[in-house]
Structure 1
């Protein structure tokens, strides 16, 4: 297991450098003018342009600028074009997006898995058919429609949650964005749990365990559930990275200054250091999440061993 983890971490290092190089190349190929984008409609004097060009190495070649980026990244000296530390900017945003992603993941994991199990046990019943229709409706609604709709119903009309994010209510005002962000994951997790749980209910080992006199609660709660969790854990592990990076629309609607909001703003300003740093962070989250998922495989199924 230790050798497998080390090998995966080494693969993760290559993935990290490959992803950052590709994103940096895309930003470099865009050919935008970050200095003018930062100034907006205000004129930039030749002296200011020359100073900023020298400071951020904008006149250097592609690989030279990439090496400067890596140097500043690993030494902690990476700054945005506004002069603020990238790590300070991303750190504040990461906390907010992490809270939203945690709410969304718990919502999808608890409600989605529970409803999926009930639907599998009552296959073809009213609950199964109702959840099927609801999940298809939720999956079919894009976030750009679902977020304002939820904001209108639960915040403006019924006044259950705050309308937008406010620092005075750091958790309460993040619940609704988290539920909106996790709704698509909830629908997928529910259908995936229903399919996996239903397949295992018809497996031979379930009939064998039942014929030996084991109680139905133990058969379902221990044997069937454990064997059904592998595809669900895979989905939730990958979905964690999707939740962290896919919050642009949700954070914009609810005015949450998270990672998605920062990424959208940085792209508009051609702020390459911030864009590549955020993508690098998301790559690390993906790598760690997938490694944890692979380790959990061996915990859930003793037959899986990594040599």
Structure 2
């Protein structure tokens, strides 16, 4: 296991450097001069533009800019925006909102998706199975903005069950509706994945052996089937958690939630390259760390998986 962890950490570092360089190169290769555009309708003097470009190292070769940025990351410095604000401070102000929304949506995906998938797998080929499959496919076919606006009109304006925008009322009132909308798309995939995994596990030889030995069905399903069916679902949900922590720009926009997704959108709109790269770097790190943790946990949940 120690060799596996060392190998995965080395892979994590290589992937992190490669992906962040691609993003950095893509962002700072875009046309336009963000420094020159800071003056708005009144262009900045040339000497001011030159000083700011030197301050943010925009006058250096791209590889030198990236190496300087990478050196800052070693001291947990994500840099500053062109208006002098700390990127780390802006992320810190937005993370609590995004984390609350992401974890709420993730918990709904985990619970509802696993339950629906388990029921469909145990009732494979029945009307229940077909109904769950139809509903989950239907949910993923509706655009997220249509689902979000419709939910606002029905549950917020017409029924008045939840607030329609903002987070002023706190958790869970302000988060449950947008989290449910986000979760619908993930839990549909999770339930179908769980369904297929349960069906495969029920057909395996060791389950037939347990049945032949007279083990109660509740124990077979609750211990053996669930444990062996959870690994692929766990992997999917881990990746989904990384996506959710990245913020969902559309949902945050519809429900006026000021999270990381909104910060990233504003950074792209205002050509704040350092902020775009800083937010992307944080999200990449979340994805990579979560995936390593999932690899380790998968070997615990599924005895067939062993890492040397």
**What TM-score comes out, normalization by structure 1 length?**
0.93
Contact between 1:37 and 1:269, CA under 8 Å: does it hold in 2?
no
Superposition RMSD in Å: 1.8
1:85 aligned partner: 86
Contact between 1:38 and 1:269, CA under 8 Å: does it hold in 2?
no
Matches within 5 A, 1:18-33: 18-33=18-33
How far apart, in 2, do the equivalents of 1:107 and 1:92 lie? Answer: 25
SS at match of 1:173: coil
SS at match of 1:172: coil
Listed as ranges, the gaps of 5+ residues in structure 2 are none
1:209 aligned partner: 210
Listed as ranges, the gaps of 5+ residues in structure 1 are none
How far apart, in 2, do the equivalents of 1:77 and 1:222 lie? Answer: 45
How much does 1:233 deviate?
A: 0.9
Matches within 5 A, 1:53-202: 53-75=53-75, 76=77, 78-202=79-203
How much does 1:170 deviate?
A: 4.8
How far apart, in 1, do the equivalents of 2:40 and 2:248 lie? Answer: 26
How far apart, in 2, do the equivalents of 1:41 and 1:152 lie? Answer: 40
How far apart, in 2, do the equivalents of 1:100 and 1:37 lie? Answer: 34
**What TM-score comes out, normalization by structure 2 length?**
0.93
1:296 aligned partner: 297
Task: Classify 1:151/1:45 alpha carbon distance in 2 versus 1 (closer, same or farther; 3 Å).
Answer: farther
Q: Deviations over 1:78-114 (max 9, x none)?
A: 1111211000001121221111111111101001101
1:219 aligns with 2:197: no
Task: Classify 1:182/1:209 alpha carbon distance in 2 versus 1 (closer, same or farther; 3 Å).
Answer: same
2:279 aligned partner: 278
How far apart, in 2, do the equivalents of 1:170 and 1:58 lie? Answer: 42
How far apart, in 2, do the equivalents of 1:145 and 1:38 lie? Answer: 36
How far apart, in 2, do the equivalents of 1:286 and 1:306 lie? Answer: 21
Contact between 2:155 and 2:162, CA under 8 Å: does it hold in 1?
yes
SS at match of 1:132: helix
Task: Classify 1:38/1:161 alpha carbon distance in 2 versus 1 (closer, same or farther; 3 Å).
Answer: farther
Range with greater deviation from structure 2 (126-135 or 168-177): 168-177
Q: Deviations over 1:11-67 (max 9, x none)?
A: 111111111110011012112221244444454343542332232122222122222
How far apart, in 1, do the equivalents of 2:80 and 2:69 lie? Answer: 10
Q: Deviations over 1:256-285 (max 9, x none)?
A: 121111111111122111111111111111
Range with greater deviation from structure 2 (11-20 or 46-55): 46-55
SS at match of 2:35: helix
Task: Classify 1:77/1:210 alpha carbon distance in 2 versus 1 (closer, same or farther; 3 Å).
Answer: closer
How far apart, in 2, do the equivalents of 1:171 and 1:47 lie? Answer: 52
Task: Classify 1:113/1:61 alpha carbon distance in 2 versus 1 (closer, same or farther; 3 Å).
Answer: same
1:12 aligns with 2:16: no
Range with greater deviation from structure 2 (12-21 or 164-173): 164-173
